[in-house]
Amino acid sequence: MQTVLYPLKFKPIFKSKIWGGRKIKDVLGLDYGPLPNCGEVWLLSGLWDEQSLVANGDFEGDEINDLVETFMGDLVGDSVFDQYGEQFPLLLKIIDANDWLSVQVHPDDELAEKRGLGNGKTEMWYVMQADKDAELVMGFNRPLTRMDYANVLKDNRLQSVLNHEQVAKDDVFFIPAGRVHALGPGIMVAEIQQTSDTTYRIYDWDRIDVAGMRRELHIPQSVEAIDGTVPDNYRIEVPQVMNKTVNVVDCQYFVTNLLQLQGEMEKDYSNLDSFVILMPLEGIFSLVWENGAIFVNAGECVLIPNVVKKVAIRAEKYCKLLEIYCQLEES
């Protein structure tokens, strides 16, 4: 086995959903085969039962967590490996909503551990495309205690307290564990999240699936998970600046930056103890490092190992991409 790590691309994992659309094929050009639609494409996943497989180089076909186990800090960073062990800590996906997703909430780490669910789920959305007048649900329109929330559910008044936001391309929403949310029709987002697939459905729009059944709800489980606080603004304002690194989200689980490039940008990660993921939203770029180069298209991502410290990102005409890594606080 090759012992020299290199930037890794991964085979996409396509997910058909009751609310899924066709933009992943029609906009991004990804072929999801015989599926009737594609609601999600997972670009990088460390979930044990749905791990991403490497798509390039000598490690082609290997599972991401096997590589984490083998290379440890050389791949993910010593501090990241000490914190998360052999499971890759982030899950990256693109979501295409052709209909409303369920109104849902995710547990935090403490509650997830208490319930034997592994990690909690904090996440963010970057809107890649939105139809005219598209909207989503983000949090409540007024502060709610858990008792308030329980009473709202009991009285069947949930929709009256949901906060709706109209969205457009390049909008950003940070979704800490505990915040209710739902994507609406006509929206495609890039999602960065903790490695977790735990979702508590609260409301599913009285929808009937192909078997004539309503999907399961998780009302009792959701009550302890709810955070009913209301921020000043649910939307994150992100300056659209060329050829600079612009911070989008900085939380305890991940840092996400926006890069819009014409030409080349050199990156030096010598002071960072982490992997770095580059995820193009528009356009194509080539990633160049000491021992090679690779092209990366919108709808893909590339994982730069911790031991690869200096790279150049070269846009083919124009490229918009997210730069994602972990920056753990020193204990």
Catalytic residues: 201
How far is residue 219's CA from residue 216's CA, in Å, rounded to a whole number?
A: 9
Q: Which helix (H) or strand (E) holds 71?
A: helix 64-71
What are the backbone angles phi and psi of residue 157, rounded to the nearest 5°? -115, 20
Strand partners, 13: 42
Residue 297 tokens, joined: 């298209």
Closest-CA residue to 248 (of 330, 174, 168): 174
How far is residue 207's CA from residue 136's CA, in Å, rounded to a whole number?
A: 17
Residue 320 tokens, joined: 């918009």
Closest-CA residue to 277 (of 9, 13, 85): 9
Q: Which helix (H) or strand (E) holds 285?
A: strand 276-289
How far is residue 96's CA from residue 187's CA, in Å, rounded to a whole number?
A: 6
Residue 184 tokens, joined: 């609406």
Residue 114: half-sphere exposure toward Cβ, Cα within 13 Å: 8
What is the DSSP code string of 134-195?
Answer: -EEEEEESS---HHHHHHHHHTT-HHHHEEEEE--TT-EEEE-TT--EEPPTTEEEEEEEES
Residue 209 tokens, joined: 């699936």
